[in-house]
Structure 1
Amino acid sequence: MINDRELELLINDVFEYHGFDFSGYSRASLKRRVDRLYQLDGFKSVGEMLSRVRTEPEYFKRMIEEITVNVTEMFRDPLFYKVLREEIIPVLATKPFIRIWHAGCASGEEVYSMAILLQEANLLHKSLMYATDINPLVLQTAKKGIFPLQMMKQYSENYRISGGKKDFSDYYTANYGFAKFGSDFTAKMVFSEHSLVSDGSFNEFDLILCRNVLIYFDKELQDRAFTLFDDSLAKLGYLALGTKETLKFSSLQKTYTQHNKDKIWKKKE
C-alpha cells in the first residue's frame, strides 16, 4: 500500500516525466486507485512502481488508463435524462445547429444516450456531439459504439424510466455477446483526448455535460474546470453536472441559475 509521501512522489514524477498534472485530484480517490493498481500489478515496493512510471512509456499509459477510468452506463440516472428529454432538448430544438460537449465521457455510454434522445426529437441531423476524455483507451471503446449485450437489459430499463417509448433493441445490433450501435450515431460524434486540468476551450456549446468527474478534483481544480466550461458555453446554454457536484460556492454561481436542483445550470444572458 502506498503512503501519502509516496503518493506525492508519484504525482511529481508523473508531471516531471510525462506532463500530466494530478496535483489537483482528490488525494483520497487518487490513493485508492493507485493502491488498486499497485496490487493488480504485484509491485514489491513503491520504488519499483515509480521506476516503471519514469522509464516505460507503455506502463505509464497503462497507469493512466487504470486510474482515470470512470464507471458509467447508458441513461445513467434516468430521471436526469427525463429532464433533458422534456425540458432542455425542446429549448435546444429552436437553435439552427446544436453543439454538445460530453467532458470526461469515459467509454461513451452517455454520449450514445444523448444521440438517442436527439434522434427521437428529430434533431440528430442538426447536432454534433463532442466527446472528450483524458484516457485514450476508453475513447477507443466509445468510438466503436460496442458494449456488452448483458448490459442492455439494464440500459433498456433506464431508457424506459427516462421516458423512452420505443423498443430499445431497435438502436443496436446484437452479435457474439455484444451490442453495436449504428453509424448514424457515430457520424454525429467527434471523439478526442482532452484534459480538464491542462487543456483549454475549443468551441462554443449549447449544452455541456460533465457528470461524476469533478468529484475526483479538489476545489481549486473544480474551479478551473468551471471556468473552462463557462468559457466554452454559449449564453443561455446549459451545464449538466453529477448528483454530488454543484456550482454553489463557485465564483461563477451568480452568472447561472439552477434549472433542476443542482444537476442542471443555465447560463444567464
Structure 2
Amino acid sequence: MEAILVKDEEVELLINELAQRYGYDFTNYARASLRRRINRLITIDRIPSFAELIYRVKNDADYLTHLVEEITVNVTEMFRDPFVFKLIREKVLPVLATHPFIRIWHTGCATGEEVYSMAILLEEANLLRKSLIYATDLNPSVIENIQRGIFPLNRMQQYSENYVLSGGKKDFSSFYTAQYGFAKFNQKLKDKMITATHNLVSDRSFNEFQVIFCRNVLIYFDKVLQDKVLKLFDDSLEKLGFLILGSKESLRFSPIAKKFVQVEKEKIWRKIE
C-alpha cells in the first residue's frame, strides 16, 4: 500500500475536529511539525486515506487517544544534554538549598525521564527530602508511566553515560532495580512526585515554583502560543527562580525576556524581576 500524505487543508480539518468535538486545541501548533507527525502516524498504522483517519478519530476512542499521544509525546532520555544538568548541579542546586521547601514543575514532561533525572540530582544533594516535583502533561498515559517509574533496561547504559557527564559520582544502577528487561526506579524518588494532566494551551498556573522545566515543547508551538505559555511560566515562577528550556528554544524576542537573565551559555534563565 502506498502511503498517503495529508494536505494542508486536511490538517486544518483534523485540528478543527479535535478542538470542536474533543476539546484538544492544536490551533497554535506549528503546522510543519503537526503534518510530519500525522504523516508518520498514517504510514505506521497503514491508514489508506484521510477519510479513514477521520472516521477512526470519530468512532474509536482508543485510536483518538493514540493519535493525540503521537502528536504530542516527545521522545527524550535521562540527563539529556548532560551539561545542562551539570550546570543545574553547580548553579541551581546551591540556590535551592537555601529554601526551606522546594517546588519544581516539569511541564510537557514526555515519558518522564527528565523528571527522574531531576529527582536523582536532588537526592544526591540531600534536597529531595524537602522537595516536591510536579510532573504534568496533556496525556494521561504519560502520567501513568511516570507513576510506574519503569523504563527499558537497554537504555540504561546511555542514561548512565549521560549521568556521569552531568557530574554524577555514584553507580547509576543504585537508583533502580533490574527486572525482566526493565529498570524500576526507587520508590524514594517517586514519593516526591505529584503527577497530573495539564494543558499548556488552556490551563492556568496552579502554584508558584522555584524551577520550571519546559524542554523541547515550545518548538512545536507558533509564536502566539509560545508567548502565551511563556507568560504562564512567568506567572508561575517566583522571583529569582529558574526557567529551563530545550536546546533550540530561547526567551529572545519574547515579551518576558527583559525579566530574565541567561545562566552562562546553557538554556537556563533566572527571573530577576
The C-alpha deviation readout for 1:167-217, integer Å capped at 9, x for no partner, is 111111011111111110110001111111111100000000000111111
**Which structure 2 residues correspond to residues 1-269 of structure 1 after superposition, within 5 A?**
1-261=5-265, 263-269=267-273
Describe the SS at the equivalent of 1:38.
Answer: helix
Does structure 1 conserve the Cα–Cα contact (< 8 Å) formed by 2:208 and 2:238? yes
State TM-score, norm by structure 2: 0.96
CA distance in 1, matches of 2:264, 2:250: 11
Aligned residue pairs total 269
Secondary structure, aligned partner of 1:101: strand
**In the TM superposition, what whole-angstrom CA distance separates every residue of 1:221-257 from its partner, at most 9, and x where no partner exists?**
1011101101100011110001110000001111111
For 1:139 and 1:63, locate their aligned partners in 2 and report how far apart those are by CA, in whole Å.
17
Distance (whole Å) between structure 1 residues aligned to residue 9 and residue 264 of structure 2: 41
| 1:65 CA displacement | 1.4
The root-mean-square deviation of aligned C-alpha atoms, in Å, is: 1.0
- In structure 1, how many angstroms separate the alpha carbons of the residues matched to 2:182 and 2:63? 29
Q: Distance in 2 between matches of 1:20 and 1:220?
A: 17
Contact 1:245 1:262 in 2 (8 A): no
What is the Cα deviation at residue 141 of structure 1? 1.2
* Aligned residue identity for 2:165: I
Letter in 2 for 1:242: G
Give the gaps of 5 or more residues in structure 2. none
Report the Cα offset of residue 262 of structure 1.
Answer: 5.3
Asked if 1 retains the 8 angstrom alpha-carbon contact of 2:84 and 2:266, the reply is no
> Where does structure 1 lack aligned partners over 5 or more consecutive residues?
none
Q: How far did residue 61 of structure 1 move? A: 1.0
* In structure 2, distance between residues paired with 1:56 and 1:17: 13
How many Å apart are 1:260 and its aligned residue? 2.8
Q: Distance in 1 between matches of 2:18 and 2:214?
A: 25
Secondary structure in 1 matching 2:263: strand
